[in-house]
Amino acid sequence: MALLKCTDLTLGYENIVLTEHLDFEVNAGEYWCITGENGTGKSTFMKTILGLRKPLAGTISYGDGLEKNKIGYLPQQTQLQKDFPASVTEVVISGFQGKTGLRPFYTKEEKAGALKNMERLGIEDLSKRCYRELSGGQQQRVLLARALCATGKILLLDEPVTGLDPKATEELYELIKKLNREDKITIIMITHDVEAPRKYATHVMNFGEKITKEEISSGRYMV
């Protein structure tokens, strides 16, 4: 059984259709890269999988022990987070929030889990530091550790290397690769990078291909 199965999915806003007839399955351990121009529906697609937005048509089913709320997510950073006074530990442990239900505080196991995930990403010595004072690469690791608190199976990453320097980019990609290969965590990643899909992905999905083909055939682009 597939982790994630999309059947005849149509994505878009109220009356703008971005993508139609999307049919595919994601299986455990795969590494998907989603590429495509801005505005072709990549982020919408991700938000639909996460249940933040309803598809215009079609269904998404979760299987293989995956529940809708157990998906780890690395969103694009917001301005708000750059001002937020929060320690690294506070951010990481908030990944467990979805599992606490009405319980107001975190359990010992959750605190230990947060620490373990920080060690996994090599940020345990940053645990007392202030999130907003970290470098871009460190911040992404913190958010990755938080995502790991929410999931053990699948990570969705929305342009994780945006704004990182080449070295930090490389390190983050290696880290994601390690999570994929060693911990068997399924990866679905949106990226603008040309290298990454070729280097790491087992599957590549290119959004807006139809448009590109038409543009090519209309002669506006030389191939």
Partner 1 sequence: MADTWSKFIEYLQIPFVRYALIVGVLIALCASLLGVTLVLKRFSFIGDGLSHVAFGAISVATVIGLSNDTLFTMGVTVLCAILILGGSRYTKIKGDASVAMISVSALAMGYLLMNVFPTSGNVSGDVCSTLFGSALILTLSKEDVILCIAVSVVVVLLFLFFYNKLFAVTFDGDFARATGTKADIYNLIIAAIIAVIVVLAMNLVGSLLISALVVFPAMSAMRVFKSFRSVTICSAVISVLCALTGMVIAIVAGTPVGSTIVVTDIAVFVIFSIAGKITGRTV
Nearer to partner 1, 74 or 196 (CB): 74
List CB contacts of 45: < 8 A, sequence separation 6 or more. Answer: 11, 19, 22, 34, 207
- Tell the burial category of 90 from Cβ atoms under 10 Å away from its Cβ (0-12, 13-18, 19+): middle
Minimum CB–partner distance for residue 164 and partner 1 (Å): 19
Three-state DSSP class for 14?
A: coil
Binding mask 187-216 for partner 1 (x = CB under 8 A): ------------------------------
Residues 87-146 binding partner 1 (CB under 8 A) are 87, 90-91, 94-95, 97-100, 104-106, 128-130, 132-133, 146
The correct pick among 78, 220, 221, 222 for binding partner 1 (CB under 8 A) is 78
Minimum CB–partner distance for residue 101 and partner 1 (Å): 9
How many CA atoms lie less than 13 Å away from 110 in the CB half-sphere? 21
Tokens found for residue 51: 């249940």
Three-state DSSP class for 53?
A: coil
> Which positions lie near partner 1, rule CB under 8 A?
47, 50-52, 68-73, 75, 78, 80-81, 83-87, 90-91, 94-95, 97-100, 104-106, 128-130, 132-133, 146-147, 150
